[in-house]
Structure formats: structure tokens, C-alpha cells
């Protein structure tokens, strides 16, 4: 018999049992007895070698009648995204795609029918770029998505993308891209005009030409077309095309001199007056994410998050877009301040050499995982499919590489917004992601992640270690799924950070948490009524999942919880347990009789009984009768242990 202490406001007396009966493997199984009322206590179980070892937090003092009420309350609702449910039925647990997909909504896909096709094709998040279209158009799209969610049982989140500073934007005024011919002469001006004027480009910022010299190079969208400055006319520039190509509407530009980016500090705010107006619109329409453009420091992110916390009744997550050299120089502090990151590769490619994009993308993805923030890799995955129905092989390889790096989400921009083959592009993204995930799993390769402790308080450090251990346990035991019960999504994100092989089903009673988890790798969020009784939560949700036919006999799930303690149940529920679905019916309502404030007295009595139990398991009938009729708690406890260990069902 061994004892151990747990830091904090609790002490546990634990027993290490070694069986003399070789048929019962009790090695490394720990049975814990809570002594103090506050803190975390645990109990381990092993069911005839079929339900692996587990550690489960237990609670004190809940009456059985209240437990029944909680169970009935839980059974009233369980909302699982209809697309995920269909995919689960068709492919099983391990066939579920883990990489999330973001689609930019534009004129090519804004009808109710087209939006539904995108959702059925795998879209998890719908992105609206506030640079384009009217406020009424955006409102109409948001309400269509919410209508689909409500009527079709979907769970698609909505993201708005702020316009940001326009100092790097030029527009030729035409509704679509123009082909720029070599040696053609173009005028870049800050004068305003409506429509399009031949060979004339309007700069959105009046001081766009400050500090620019004749001979400098003007690069459009990171190299889609290039011009040489041949004359400076006050604030206007006359330029000659040196490298022909496509000139898109509202293109990004940069100036280069002697092979280096011309850096200029405009000292403009990250969020413009229009951006703040768009943010107010997003709050009123109940969007789930706001992506900030041209973020150059952490303070602007913190300012927006503080503003949202006072203005929005629901939680809106703030994503920072990494698209400038300055943002790369302050990368870690921006990631820490934000709720997630978008790697805007096109805009980033305007400011850094193209050959650096792959390594920068990988580094951003790695740091986001270390800091437990979701990361979206965006832009030009399937650029050719704007005009053609089949992608290039290089584009498919680009998608596979982002999936191999374990990015949380991949994003379509022009491919879905204005492309001729948006649904086909999404299908390519979905199929390529799923195939690459399957390949990684078959190779048993997990993304290497240098451990970085995030938690400061003891509860946070405990939660972090529980999730790290849970993923290792899930992979080693090859369980079919991980179930996590979470109110704010924290432990679900910690599990996702470790990129487990099985999918993560996150049960939450908070709608904003559910929608925010749509960006987390491998997480399938479900909306459910959670009670303060964790045993009822687990029992009811597994029963409901099973009744829907989504799990089958023989499936095993690893269960993790982080439900916050309440006055009724002051213990912190941070736990791990492994449940075999085929045996869950036998154990779902079985409770150890030692969960009371006097259980420390049980520790003395239990030691004398363990040898007796393990010696006589082969002839347990007489012992069962003795223990079942015993009036002392030790005897009742041992009957329960015997029952669980041998699979005996009264």
C-alpha cells in the first residue's frame, strides 16, 4: 500500500494493488480516496482489461434525486452539426477531417443555394471581406448563413475581415483583372475618379509616393506585375511595365530599391474610422470572429478585445492578420495578445522575398501551436481555379504542405468569392486535406511540438498537463474519440494543440464557445445542456451519442473535463477516463459508496480486504454475498470494486 500527496487544497490516500490472480491485471491501477472536501480527487478503474486505466475527478455531496434531475435535463438537447454527423456516419471517427476550411463569400457564392452547397462541401467558417460590397449585402449574407444554421442544423461561424489601412492599395477601377502589357505606360495618382480610366490607377492614400525616387520598382501583389518609376509628377508617378501580368482590382503594392523593400513609417492607426463602423456592424449582427488587417503591434489587438468585452453580449474572437514585415518582427507578442492568427501570404509576399514565405509560414504555424492559438493559412491555394476547373499539381502540393505543418485551418479567397469553380475548389481543398491527414496517421507521425508551459496558476498548469497526457494516452491506446466537457473551450484547445489521432468532441453549453471552436484543429463542437454533475454529463451525452447510432459496440472514448466548480460542487472537475462503449451500460449508474467526507477512515480498512479479494476472485460467489450483505462502508466499497473488476452484473 502506497500513499501520495497532491499539491493544493487536497490530499489523496491511494492504494497500489497487485493481484495474485494472473487473469486480473491490476498493475499500475490506482484507487484514490478523497480526504478533504476541496481540491481534485481521483479514482482509477480497470474493467476486465477492456476499459483502459483512467483517472477521473469525483464529486462530493450530490443527492441521487438531483443527479436524476440533471440527467433528464441533459437529455433534452444535443446539437451536433449536421455535416459532421453525416461525415461521421459515412467515414467513422478516424475518417473525420480535422483541418478546418474557411471560405470567402463574394458575388459568386452569396445566394442561399450556393452557401448551402459550400456548407455541405465542408465550409466551417464563412469569411466576409469588408473591403468589398455594401453593408446591406454583408447583412444579407450573414442572415442567410444563420438561417441555414437554424433550419438545416448546420454550425457555420461568421468572420468579418476589416479593411485596414489603405496605404498599400491601388485600384484601376475595372470590375475584374486587367492584363498589363510589357512597356505600357501607366499613371499612378491619388486623384479620385469614378469607374475606370485607361492606363490610370488610383492610389487610396494621398501620400503613397512620399520618399519614392525615379528608378524605384513598383511591385503589384508580390509580383503579379512590375513597373519602373520613370517620372515623378508632384504626388503622381508615371511608370513603365517591366514585367507583364495580371492587375487585380484593389491590388496591394510595394516599392523596392536596389533589391530591398522601401520601408516607410506612416504612423497611421491600425483600425480606421470605417473599420470601427464595420466592427459595430459585426457586433450588431452577432459575428463570431473579427480579423484585423495590417496588425503591427499587440496593443491594437488588446484595445479591440477590451472594446468588444464591453460592447458585445457574446464572446467575439479577435484574429490578427500577419501581412507585414513589422508584424513578423513582433510576431510572438501579437500571437499572445490575439485569439488566433491568419497568415496572409499574398500581402506578406509583398514585403518579404517570395522564397522566404514557406519558412515564415511554418514558423508562424509552429509558434501558434506552442502558444495554443489557432492559425489560418490563407491566400492563393487554388488561384488557378478562379478561371480553370482543375488545379495545378503545385497548388495541391501547397495544400498538402500546410496540412503537414498542422495548420488549424486553410482559407479560400478569390477562389470562392469571385471564382468560376468555387465549389470544386472547396472540394479539392477538402479531399487533399483528408488524404494528407490519413497519410500522416498511417505513418504514425505526430507534429513535433517543443513543450512550452503556458499556465501560470496551479489549476492552469494541471489542466495543461492533463491534456498533454490525455493525448498521449489516446494515441497509445488507439481510442476512437476524445470527449471533452468545457464551458469556455480552454481544455478543448489544449487537446487540439497536441494534434491527437482521434477526433475531439467538445461538449459545451455556451453557443459562442461552440462557434469559436470551429477554427480549432480536430475539434467537433456540440451544444448541450451541462449540469454541475459531471457523472450525469458523461452518462447522458454518451447515451445520446449512442442512441443516434454515432458510436457502436466496441468503440472506446477518452473523456476529459474542465467544468468549473460551483457552490453545489466545489471540486474542480479536471479529469481523464477511458470508457468502452460496449460496457458503458453496466457501469454508467454505478457509484463508489465511499464518496463522503468521512472516506479517510476507509483507507485503514480497505488495505486488509485487497489481498482477500484478489486471492479469491476465482470463487467469488461466496465473497460477493458476504460483501453485499456487509453494513460497513468498507464492505460495500469492496463489493463495488469486485463488481467492476470482474464485470459482475447484479
392: left (phi over 0), alpha (psi -120 to 50) or beta: beta
Domains of the chain listed by start with CATH number: 4-58+592-646 (no CATH), 73-89+465-587 (3.40.1380.20), 95-165+268-442 (3.20.20.60), 169-261 (2.40.33.10)
Within 481-521, residue ranges assigned H as helices are 490-497, 511-516
The 3-class secondary structure across 281-334, one letter per residue, is HHHHHCCCEEEECCCCCHHHHHHHHHHHHHHCCCCCEEEEEECCHHHHHCHHHH
The pLDDT confidence band at residue 208, using thresholds 50, 70 and 90, is confident
- pLDDT tens by residue, 15-36: 233 333 333 333 333 333 333 2
Pick the more confident residue, 632 or 401. Answer: 401
What is the spatial distance between Cα 572 and Cα 458, in angstroms, rounded to a whole number? 12
Give me the pLDDT at residue 531, please.
Answer: 80
Give me the pLDDT at residue 33, please.
Answer: 32
Sign of CA dihedral 265, 269, 271, 274: negative
pTM: 0.76
Give me the pLDDT at residue 350, please.
Answer: 78
Pick the more confident residue, 37 or 416. Answer: 416
- From the list 573, 584, 339, 579, the residue with the least C-alpha distance to 459 is 573
The pLDDT confidence band at residue 186, using thresholds 50, 70 and 90, is very high
Give me the pLDDT at residue 623, please.
Answer: 54
- pLDDT tens by residue, 453-480: 887 888 788 888 888 889 999 999 999 9
Give me the pLDDT at residue 303, please.
Answer: 95
- From the list 422, 391, 388, 427, the residue with the least C-alpha distance to 109 is 422
Pick the more confident residue, 553 or 565. Answer: 553
Average pLDDT over residues 423-441: 93
- Assess whether pLDDT exceeds 60 at residue 233: yes
- pLDDT tens by residue, 144-173: 999 999 999 999 999 999 988 767 788 888
What is the spatial distance between Cα 447 and Cα 380, in angstroms, rounded to a whole number? 24
Give me the pLDDT at residue 104, please.
Answer: 96
Tell the residue number behind the cell numbers 498511417, with chain if given. Answer: 442
- From the list 571, 577, 155, 516, the residue with the least C-alpha distance to 308 is 516
The pLDDT confidence band at residue 332, using thresholds 50, 70 and 90, is very high
The pLDDT confidence band at residue 62, using thresholds 50, 70 and 90, is very low
Paired with 523 in beta bridges are 504
Give me the pLDDT at residue 507, please.
Answer: 93
What is the spatial distance between Cα 506 and Cα 482, in angstroms, rounded to a whole number? 8
Give me the pLDDT at residue 15, please.
Answer: 29
Q: What percent of the chain has pLDDT over 90?
A: 46
- Assess whether pLDDT exceeds 70 at residue 598: no
Paired with 129 in beta bridges are 161
For the chain, the average pLDDT equals: 78
- pLDDT tens by residue, 495-518: 999 999 999 999 999 999 999 999
Phi, psi (degrees; rounded to nearest 5) at 69: -60, -40
CB 582 within 8 A of CB 551: no
Average pLDDT over residues 268-292: 93
Give me the pLDDT at residue 446, please.
Answer: 58
Give me the pLDDT at residue 266, please.
Answer: 67
Pick the more confident residue, 597 or 225. Answer: 225
What is the spatial distance between Cα 268 and Cα 258, in angstroms, rounded to a whole number? 27
- Measured over all CA atoms, what is the biggest interatomic distance in the chain, rounded to whole angstroms? 103
CB 317 within 8 A of CB 283: no
Average pLDDT over residues 548-575: 70
- Assess whether pLDDT exceeds 90 at residue 230: yes
The 3-state DSSP class for residue 548 equals: coil
Average pLDDT over residues 238-248: 91
Amino acid at each position: 500500500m502506497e500513499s501520495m500527496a497532491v499539491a493544493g487544497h487536497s490530499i489523496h490516500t491511494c492504494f497500489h494493488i497487485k493481484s495474485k490472480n494472473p487473469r486480473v491485471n491490476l498493475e499500475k491501477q490506482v484507487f484514490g480516496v478523497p480526504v478533504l472536501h476541496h481540491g481534485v480527487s481521483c479514482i482509477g478503474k480497470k474493467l476486465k482489461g477492456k476499459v483502459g486505466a483512467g483517472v477521473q475527478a469525483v464529486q462530493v455531496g450530490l443527492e441521487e434525486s438531483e443527479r436524476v434531475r440533471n440527467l433528464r435535463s441533459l437529455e433534452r438537447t444535443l446539437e451536433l452539426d449536421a455535416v459532421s454527423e453525416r461525415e461521421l456516419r459515412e467515414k467513422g471517427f478516424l475518417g473525420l477531417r480535422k483541418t478546418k476550411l474557411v471560405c470567402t463569400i463574394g458575388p459568386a457564392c452569396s445566394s442561399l443555394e450556393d452557401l448551402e452547397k459550400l456548407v455541405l462541401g465542408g465550409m466551417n467558417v464563412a469569411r466576409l471581406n469588408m473591403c468589398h460590397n455594401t453593408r446591406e449585402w454583408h447583412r444579407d449574407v450573414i442572415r442567410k448563413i444563420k438561417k441555414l444554421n437554424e433550419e438545416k442544423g448546420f454550425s457555420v461561424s461568421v468572420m468579418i475581415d476589416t479593411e485596414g489601412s489603405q496605404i498599400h492599395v491601388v485600384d484601376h477601377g475595372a470590375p475584374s483583372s486587367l492584363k498589363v502589357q510589357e512597356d505600357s505606360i501607366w499613371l499612378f495618382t491619388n486623384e479620385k475618379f469614378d469607374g475606370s480610366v485607361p492606363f490610370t490607377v488610383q492610389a487610396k492614400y494621398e501620400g503613397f509616393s512620399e520618399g519614392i525616387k525615379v528608378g524605384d520598382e513598383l511591385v503589384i501583389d508580390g509580383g503579379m506585375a512590375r513597373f519602373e518609376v520613370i517620372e515623378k509628377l508632384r504626388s503622381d508617378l508615371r511608370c513603365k511595365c517591366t514585367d507583364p501580368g495580371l492587375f487585380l482590382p484593389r491590388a496591394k503594392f510595394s516599392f523596392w530599391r536596389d533589391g530591398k523593400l522601401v520601408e516607410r513609417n506612416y504612423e497611421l492607426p491600425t483600425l480606421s474610422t470605417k473599420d470601427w463602423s464595420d466592427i459595430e456592424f459585426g457586433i450588431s449582427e452577432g459575428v463570431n470572429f473579427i480579423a484585423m488587417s495590417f496588425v503591427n503591434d499587440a496593443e491594437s489587438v488588446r484595445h479591440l478585445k477590451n472594446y468588444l468585452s464591453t460592447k458585445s453580449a457574446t464572446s467575439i474572437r479577435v484574429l490578427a492578420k500577419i501581412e507585414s514585415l513589422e508584424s513578423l518582427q513582433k510576431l510572438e507578442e501579437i500571437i499572445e495578445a490575439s485569439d488566433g492568427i491568419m497568415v496572409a501570404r499574398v500581402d506578406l509576399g509583398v514585403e518579404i522575398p517570395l522564397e522566404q514565405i514557406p519558412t515564415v509560414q511554418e514558423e508562424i504555424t509552429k509558434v501558434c501551436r506552442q502558444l495554443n492559438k489557432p492559425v489560418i493559412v490563407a491566400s492563393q491555394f487554388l488561384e488557378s481555379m478562379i478561371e480553370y476547373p482543375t488545379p495545378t499539381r503545385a497548388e495541391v502540393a501547397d495544400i498538402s504542405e500546410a496540412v503537414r505543418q498542422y495548420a488549424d485551418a486553410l482559407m479560400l479567397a478569390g477562389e470562392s468569392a469571385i471564382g468560376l469553380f468555387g465549389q470544386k475548389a472547396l472540394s479539392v481543398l477538402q479531399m487533399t486535406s483528408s488524404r494528407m491527414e490519413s497519410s500522416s496517421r498511417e505513418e504514425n507521425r505526430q507534429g513535433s511540438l517543443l513543450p512550452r508551459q503556458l499556465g501560470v496558476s496551479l489549476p492552469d498548469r494541471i489542466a495543461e498537463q492533463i491534456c498533454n497526457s490525455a493525448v498521449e494516452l489516446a494515441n497509445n491506446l488507439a481510442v476512437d474519440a476524445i470527449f471533452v466537457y468545457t464551458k469556455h473551450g480552454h481544455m478543448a484547445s489544449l487537446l487540439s494543440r497536441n494534434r491527437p489521432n482521434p477526433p475531439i468532441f467538445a461538449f459545451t453549453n455556451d453557443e459562442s464557445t461552440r462557434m469559436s471552436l470551429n477554427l480549432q484543429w480536430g475539434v467537433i463542437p456540440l451544444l448541450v445542456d451541462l449540469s454541475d454533475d459531471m457523472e450525469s454529463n458523461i452518462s447522458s451525452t454518451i447515451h445520446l451519442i449512442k442512441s443516434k447510432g454515432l458510436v457502436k459496440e466496441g468503440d472506446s472514448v477518452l473523456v476529459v473535463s474542465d467544468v468549473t466548480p460551483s457552490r453545489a460542487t466545489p471540486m474542480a472537475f479536471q479529469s481523464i477516463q477511458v470508457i468502452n462503449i460496449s460496457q458503458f451500460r453496466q457501469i454508467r449508474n454505478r457509484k463508489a459508496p465511499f464518496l463522503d467526507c468521512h472516506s479517510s477512515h476507509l483507507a485503514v480498512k480497505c488495505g486488509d480486504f485487497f489481498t482477500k479479494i484478489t486471492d479469491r476472485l476465482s470463487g467469488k460467489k461466496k465473497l460477493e454475498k458476504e460483501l453485499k450483505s456487509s453494513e460497513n462502508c468498507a464492505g460495500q466499497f469492496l463489493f463495488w470494486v469486485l463488481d467492476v473488476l470482474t464485470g459482475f452484473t447484479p
